[in-house]
Amino acid sequence: MRFALDAEQRAFGRVLDRMLSAAGTPAAVRAWARGEHGPGLALWERVAAAGVFQPAAPEAYGGAGLLPVELSVAFVELGRHGVPGPLVETVAALVLLGRLAGAGEAAPAEEWGPRACAGRARLTLAAAGGPYALDADVADAVFVVDGPQGAAGGAGRHTLRLAPGHGPVQPSLDPARRLARPHGDGELLATGPAVRDAAAHAAEWAALATAAQALGVGHALLDRTVAYARRRTQFGAAIGSFQAVKHRLADTLVDLEFARPLLLGAAVALAGDDPGTSAAVAAAKAAACDAAYAAARTALQVHGAIGYTAEYDLSLWIGKARALRSAWGTPRECRAKALGLYDGL
């Protein structure tokens, strides 16, 4: 199997990279963490206009068809630039609504799909087993999946509803990831096994997007650390010339590059609905998030004390690398899924 991107996919990534490089994302991230959403929402509109959400929805509901490889390309760049907001959750909600539409429950997809793909609505999702929704305070729709927990989903009744509001915003490892508990009740949108199946499918897309985001975060950390090692001197030489630093940076790059084919392989498996998709996505998420976390540790060590300070932009990516490890599947759950051992740990 060949995992190389084609010319159009590479061009998509370059366009996003150029656009986000000029957008001043660190300032938008810091404002988002303070609850000031204006700069982040302006960035959100540009990201949506570039077509980032369209690969997560069928054409009938405002999307470009289900294109997980293109989605992965986009989310690597979103992670590289630290874009804030419920990006992964909007993807998960779009996939869930699209899957439900295929099962005969088309009304929610008709209402929210075109708006979300065009950037006119932000969605978030609290999945079964997780009480929190990300950035509910800025979402136009907070979807909640209720039902038995576990990989098989159990035999109980699953529901999808639209929450009428949410509780207080809770602190997070990443200050720009603002968590809140959705209120109970609300409009009931769908019930039954179709909700369970759609939620499970959406969770796989969310895990893939999270893995891609983590890979981008890892590369951002490595790039900034390499640049710092080139200009920081000690004993009259750049610290990047010391063998111990070189080896640490090289190991970080190897970890990230080993995660990349796993990510693209999982995206191809998801596109083909292969039988091993769940294990492939879990393996990709475990590898990418571990590599990003290792990049964060390397960045902290090479930068020294400055790496710990919240005022330094490096902290924006360090916090995100930690938070993404447990988002949409903990390392333990992902490894168990990859080995075919998962049963609702």
Domain ranges for the chain, please list them: 198-339
Superfamily of domain 198-339: Butyryl-CoA Dehydrogenase, subunit A, domain 3 (1.20.140.10)
**Cα–Cα distance for residue pair 262/270, rounded to 1 Å:** 12
- State which H helix or E strand residue 234 sits in: strand 233-234
pTM tops 0.85, yes or no: yes
Q: Taking Cα atoms as reference points, which of 315, 258, 99, 281 lies closest to residue 208?
A: 281
pLDDT digits 0-9 by tens, 190-248: 999 999 999 999 999 999 999 999 999 999 999 999 999 999 999 999 999 999 999 99
Percent of the chain at pLDDT above 90? 86
| Strands 187-191, 179-180: pairing kind | unpaired
Q: Span 295-301, mean pLDDT? A: 96
Query: Is residue 155 scored above 70 in pLDDT?
Result: no
- How sure is the predictor about 306, in pLDDT bands with cuts at 50, 70 and 90? confident
**Cα–Cα distance for residue pair 270/177, rounded to 1 Å:** 27
Query: Is residue 329 scored above 90 in pLDDT?
Result: yes
| Strands 187-191, 233-234: pairing kind | unpaired
Q: Span 325-337, mean pLDDT? A: 94
Q: Span 38-55, mean pLDDT? A: 96
Q: What is the pLDDT of residue 95?
A: 98
Q: What is the pLDDT of residue 228?
A: 97
- Range list of H helices, 175-242: 193-231
pLDDT digits 0-9 by tens, 77-112: 999 999 999 999 999 999 999 999 999 999 999 999
Query: Is residue 342 scored above 90 in pLDDT?
Result: no
Query: Is residue 129 scored above 80 in pLDDT?
Result: no
**Cα–Cα distance for residue pair 149/152, rounded to 1 Å:** 8
- Secondary structure (DSSP) of 3-70: ----HHHHHHHHHHHHHHHTTTHHHHHHHHHTT--HHHHHHHHHHHHTTSSTTEE-GGGTS-EE-HHH
Q: What is the mean pLDDT of the chain?
A: 93
Query: Is residue 152 scored above 70 in pLDDT?
Result: no
Q: What is the pLDDT of residue 156?
A: 64
**Radius of gyration in angstroms for the set of CA atoms belonging to the chain, rounded to a whole number:** 20
- Secondary structure (DSSP) of 252-293: HHHHHHHHHHHHHHHHHHHHHT-TTHHHHHHHHHHHHHHHHH
Percent of the chain at pLDDT above 70? 95
Are 253 and 222 in contact by the 8 Å Cβ rule? The answer is yes
Q: Span 246-271, mean pLDDT? A: 97
**Cα–Cα distance for residue pair 163/166, rounded to 1 Å:** 7
